[in-house]
């Protein structure tokens, strides 16, 4: 099919608004009489509040109220009312519920004042007394208290073992075992969380930063006892979220609470420091044992993961399962356990679980390849599988071999010397590494509305969000393509609970889910237009077979007869319709899901240069070859992969939330000390989208590209560092002290 818009590198339709500052983010909405909130965060991680003295704050002119657990009443005690759509099992955190401190930086008071500066100043005058209790914050020291991860969180699939991994491992000729550690990480989007809540005594309007307006509507309706229809959540632009906006954050509750109580509009934002007071990618400990036959057949995989969660909820993510589907192997033993700590509940962060588990698995695969003295890419190809052995199903499509081939060719992998420390560039040791990546290609039920007006303008809408990924753009492309009108005449609207229901923006499923709904609704409008074309007497196509007609650039025509044509607007006029409005639903086909496993795949190749004396690592080249079905927009898709690779470099080399166990508190809570790459850290990144046709996965044939780009990167870099130096650093981030093996507290890395 030749297309006009789908598959073309359209620039962002919202680009101009964003770069000119016209795009309004949640903190940018101004309303008459706005008041400002500032949250006071707890200084301890566990204990009781014994007293709060707000008198000095309240004495200031312009301070309207200080909310604390002592004066906030009439909130439901029933824990389920706080359970949002992305909540794991357990009891969600209930702000101002009682005097118990459950995590460091827990909101303990909310000051509302006439100005932001005053609110912030007043917050510094509030004195909170605590009775401290001993907290537990170290995952590694509490592994013995781990327990089996319970079900209960959307998207969490418990791991399934097969065969007898222990016996196979015992008997195998070649084997490795190793432990991998990952620190916690925080999402740290550029835009801080902020909410503006306006209560007009009947209806509540809320501007929020979120990845799901309907989730916030659900949460606010339940917690504050409001009918959903009276709660409108608006979130047109999101300055990055990466999963942090999947659950309602503290400021949403705070702003709504104050607006309802004070009957004034209220804006509450989190500070950068407070961005470390909620969910994060959990710290983990992973143990892997792999074995292979002398010919390089993978004989057993044993993958255990221990992950932190809070005392009040059981956050789960799919860490180990990937190790059971990425390669052919008869014997797989998986284990996934949680350890409760006095920290906030972890939260999905870009490619949750996979980033963590695949890094460990792909490092272990590399270790095993070295034991076998086999090229790591050949080893992977040798154990390639076209079957999902866990569910005993074929993949709907899997062009991973093409990823390996095209990626290797672009990278020049064939020239690689297998020996570690075999390449050099002056003082630098040079290494090349490879890793595989896989991610789910899911589709969720979604609704979309289309409104075609007599002037030929089409407005399509759905209550989804665009967290910077390009949702606005690709939905506009799909609508223009399907209906056959010029892209300039299409507007897409999102981020509003008044729009049709869409799923949370996560899991790389938005393109497939909302895209399919947009496709369906535009097909429906198209059918109506063609019906008018053949049923309207004055139409040149009166009594035609509508299936013979096409629409392009707003013109209805018969491809086999160029003598006739009529514009979309003209046919509407002749038919006497002012507008056509349709709402449609699209969802996954359960039959397909039963028969096929649907995944996207990638192969990542990385080159590093490691300063031999100083241990600093520079990632000089990355090639990321991706098989993700139909690419709707190569430009925005490439940006997604580039962002994923950059974050993968970050994860491999720099990123870490430093948790102080004296305080049970994350300490590097600013962007000066929470390191992510700067421009200078990023060199050459090549993105390849391999051809992958998939008619099964969904009507659009798309798999989503939001997460697949990050998953293999840390593994490829870790493997490249080994190839360069002969040192296997299994504890991320790979910092110079670990590379040089002069770090005092890194007992888990072993030189080969």
Partner 1 sequence: MNSFSYNKVTEVAEAVADLTGHANARFIAGGTNLLDLMKENVARPDHLTDINKLALTAIEETEDGGLSLGALATNADTAWNELVERKYPLLSQAILAGASPQLRNMATNGGNLFQRTRCYYFYDTATACNKREPGSGCSAINGINRIHAILGTSEHCIATHPSDMCVALAALDAKVNVTGPYGDRVIEFRDFHRLPGDTPHLDNNVQDGELVTSIELPPSNFTQHFHYLKVRERQSYAFALVSVAAALELDGNTIKDIRLALGGVAHKPWRDCSCEEAFIGQEATEANFRALAEMILADAKGYGSNTFKIELAKRAIVRAFSEALKNN
Active site residues: 707
Binding of residue 117 to partner 1 (CB under 8 A): yes
Binding of residue 673 to partner 1 (CB under 8 A): yes
| Binder among 4, 43, 163, 402 for partner 1 (CB under 8 A) | 43
Binding of residue 664 to partner 1 (CB under 8 A): no
Q: What is the spatial distance between Cα 578 and Cα 575, in angstroms, rounded to a whole number?
A: 9
Q: What is the spatial distance between Cα 507 and Cα 342, in angstroms, rounded to a whole number?
A: 27
Choose one: 159-167, 287-295, 387-395, 677-685; the region binding partner 1 (CB under 8 A): 677-685
* Residue closest to 649 by CA, chosen among 681, 601, 687: 681
Binding of residue 181 to partner 1 (CB under 8 A): no
Show the site string, 637-656: x = touches partner 1 by CB under 8 A, - = not.
----------------xx--
Return the number of the residue (417 or 670) whose C-beta is nearest partner 1.
670
Structure tokens at 260: 């309802």
Cβ-count burial of 526 within 10 angstroms (0-12 exposed, 13-18 middle, 19+ buried)? buried
- Residue 451 CA, chain-centre distance (Å), reads 30
Contact between residue 216 and residue 252 where contact means Cβ atoms under 8 Å apart: yes
Find the DSSP H helices in 231-375: 250-262, 322-325, 354-372
Please list every residue from 68 through 87 that binds partner 1, using CB under 8 A.
none
Please list every residue from 730 through 749 that binds partner 1, using CB under 8 A.
733, 735-737, 740, 742-745
Q: How far is the CB of 743 from partner 1 (least distance, A)?
A: 5
Choose one: 20-28, 523-531, 541-549, 610-618; the region binding partner 1 (CB under 8 A): 610-618
Binding of residue 121 to partner 1 (CB under 8 A): yes
Binding of residue 678 to partner 1 (CB under 8 A): yes
- Cβ neighbour number for residue 30 with a 10 Å cutoff: 10
Return the number of the residue (478 or 685) whose C-beta is nearest partner 1.
685
> DSSP of 43-98, one letter per residue?
S-SSEEEEEEE-HHHHTSTTEEEEEETTT--S----GGGG--TT--EE----TTSS
Q: How far is the CB of 415 from partner 1 (least distance, A)?
A: 27
Binding of residue 657 to partner 1 (CB under 8 A): no
Q: What is the spatial distance between Cα 347 and Cα 352, in angstroms, rounded to a whole number?
A: 8
Return the number of the residue (40 or 288) whose C-beta is nearest partner 1.
40
Q: What is the spatial distance between Cα 515 and Cα 586, in angstroms, rounded to a whole number?
A: 9
DSSP count for the chain of H helices, then E strands: 18, 35
Q: What is the spatial distance between Cα 706 and Cα 699, in angstroms, rounded to a whole number?
A: 19
* Residue closest to 618 by CA, chosen among 674, 682, 686, 710: 682
Q: What is the spatial distance between Cα 517 and Cα 462, in angstroms, rounded to a whole number?
A: 9
Q: How far is the CB of 268 from partner 1 (least distance, A)?
A: 17
- Name the residue with tokens 């917050």: 123
Binding of residue 699 to partner 1 (CB under 8 A): no
Contact between residue 313 and residue 338 where contact means Cβ atoms under 8 Å apart: no
Show the site string, 440-479: x = touches partner 1 by CB under 8 A, - = not.
----------------------------------------
Structure tokens at 265: 């509009």
Q: How far is the CB of 746 from partner 1 (least distance, A)?
A: 9
Binding of residue 129 to partner 1 (CB under 8 A): no
- Name the residue with tokens 């700590």: 341
Binding of residue 132 to partner 1 (CB under 8 A): no
Return the number of the residue (45 or 627) whose C-beta is nearest partner 1.
45
Return the number of the residue (97 or 121) whose C-beta is nearest partner 1.
121
Contact between residue 715 and residue 362 where contact means Cβ atoms under 8 Å apart: yes
Please list every residue from 385 through 444 that binds partner 1, using CB under 8 A.
427
The SS3 call for residue 367 is helix
Q: What is the spatial distance between Cα 655 and Cα 734, in angstroms, rounded to a whole number?
A: 9
Q: Angle, nearest 10°, between helix axes 510-535 and 568-575? A: 60
Return the number of the residue (529 or 646) whose C-beta is nearest partner 1.
646
Return the number of the residue (141 or 550) whose C-beta is nearest partner 1.
141
Q: How far is the CB of 736 from partner 1 (least distance, A)?
A: 7
Total residues in contact with partner 1, by rule CB under 8 A:
44
Binding of residue 295 to partner 1 (CB under 8 A): no
Binding of residue 61 to partner 1 (CB under 8 A): no
The residues of the shown chain that bind partner 1, judged by CB under 8 A, are 41, 43-44, 104, 117, 120-121, 124, 273, 427, 613-616, 618, 653-654, 658, 660-663, 665, 667-670, 672-673, 675, 677-681, 733, 735-737, 740, 742-745
């Amino acid at each position: 099919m030749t297309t006009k818009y789908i598959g073309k590198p359209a620039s962002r339709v919202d680009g101009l608004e964003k770069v000119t500052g016209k795009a309004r983010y949640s903190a940018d909405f101004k309303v008459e009489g706005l008041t400002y909130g500032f949250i006071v965060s707890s200084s301890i991680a566990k204990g009781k509040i014994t007293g709060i003295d707000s008198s000095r704050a309240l004495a200031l002119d312009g301070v309207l109220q200080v909310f604390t657990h002592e004066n906030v009443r009439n909130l439901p005690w029933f824990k389920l009312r706080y359970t949002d759509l992305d909540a794991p099992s357990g009891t969600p955190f209930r702000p101002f519920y009682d005097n118990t401190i459950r995590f460091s930086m827990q909101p303990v008071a909310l000051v509302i004042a006439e100005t932001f500066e005053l609110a912030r100043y007043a917050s510094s005058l509030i004195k909170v007394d605590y009775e401290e209790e001993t907290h537990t914050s170290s995952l590694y020291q509490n592994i013995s208290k781990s327990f089996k991860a319970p079900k209960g969180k959307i998207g969490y699939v418990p791991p399934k073992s097969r065969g007898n991994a222990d016996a196979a491992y015992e008997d195998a000729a070649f084997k490795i075992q190793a432990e991998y550690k990952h620190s916690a990480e925080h999402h740290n989007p550029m835009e801080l969380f902020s909410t503006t809540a306006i209560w007009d005594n009947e209806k509540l309007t809320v501007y929020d930063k979120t990845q799901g307006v309907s989730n916030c509507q659900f949460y606010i309706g339940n917690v504050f006892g409001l009918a959903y229809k009276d709660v409108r959540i608006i979130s047109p632009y999101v300055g990055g979220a990466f999963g942090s906006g999947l659950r309602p954050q503290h400021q949403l509750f705070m702003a709504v609470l104050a607006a309802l109580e004070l009957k004034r509009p209220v804006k509450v934002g989190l500070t950068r420091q407070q961005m470390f007071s909620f969910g994060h990618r959990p710290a983990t400990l992973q143990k892997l044992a792999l074995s292979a036959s002398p010919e390089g057949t993978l004989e057993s995989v044993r993958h255990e993961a221990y992950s932190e969660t809070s005392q009040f909820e059981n956050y789960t993510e799919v860490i180990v399962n990937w190790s059971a589907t990425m390669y052919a192997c008869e014997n797989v033993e998986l284990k996934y356990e949680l350890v409760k700590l006095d920290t906030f509940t972890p939260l999905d962060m870009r490619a949750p679980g996979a980033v963590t588990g695949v890094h460990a698995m792909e490092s272990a695969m590399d270790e095993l390849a070295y034991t076998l003295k086999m090229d790591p890419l050949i080893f992977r190809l040798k154990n390639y599988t076209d079957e999902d052995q866990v569910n005993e199903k074929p993949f709907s499509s899997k062009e991973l071999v093409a990823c390996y081939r095209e990626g290797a060719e672009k990278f020049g992998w064939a020239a690689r010397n297998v020996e570690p420390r075999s390449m050099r560039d002056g003082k630098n040791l040079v290494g090349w590494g490879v890793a595989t990546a896989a991610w789910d290609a899911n589709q969720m039920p979604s609704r979309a509305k289309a409104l075609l007006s007599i002037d030929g303008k089409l407005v399509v809408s759905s209550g989804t969000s665009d967290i910077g990924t390009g949702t606005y753009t690709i939905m506009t492309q799909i609508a223009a393509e399907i209906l056959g009108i010029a892209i300039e005449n299409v507007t897409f609207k999102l981020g509003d609970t008044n729009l049709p229901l869409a799923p949370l923006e996560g899991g790389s499923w938005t393109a497939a889910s909302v895209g399919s709904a947009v496709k369906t609704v535009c097909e429906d409008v198209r059918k109506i237009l063609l019906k008018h074309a053949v049923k309207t007497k004055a139409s040149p196509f009166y009594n035609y077979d509508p299936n013979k007609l096409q629409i392009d650039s707003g013109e209805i025509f018969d491809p086999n007869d160029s003598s006739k044509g009529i514009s979309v607007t003209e046919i509407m006029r002749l038919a006497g319709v002012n507008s056509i409005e349709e709402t449609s639903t699209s969802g996954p086909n359960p039959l397909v899901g039963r028969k096929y496993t649907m995944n996207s795949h990638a192969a990542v190749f990385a080159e590093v240069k490691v300063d031999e004396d100083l241990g600093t690592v520079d990632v000089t080249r990355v090639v990321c070859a991706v098989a993700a079905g139909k690419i709707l927009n190569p430009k925005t898709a490439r940006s997604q992969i580039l962002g994923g690779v950059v974050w993968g470099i970050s994860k491999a080399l720099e990123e870490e939330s430093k948790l102080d166990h004296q305080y049970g508190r994350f300490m590097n809570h600013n962007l000066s000390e929470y390191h992510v790459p700067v421009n200078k850290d990023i060199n050459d990144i090549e993105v390849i989208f391999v051809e992958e046709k998939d008619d099964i996965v969904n009507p659009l044939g798309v798999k989503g590209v939001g997460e697949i780009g990050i998953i293999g990167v840390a593994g490829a870099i870790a493997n490249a560092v080994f190839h360069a130096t002969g040192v296997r650093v299994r504890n991320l981030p790979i910092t110079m002290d670990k590379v040089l093996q002069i770090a005092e507290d890194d007992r888990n890395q072993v030189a080969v």
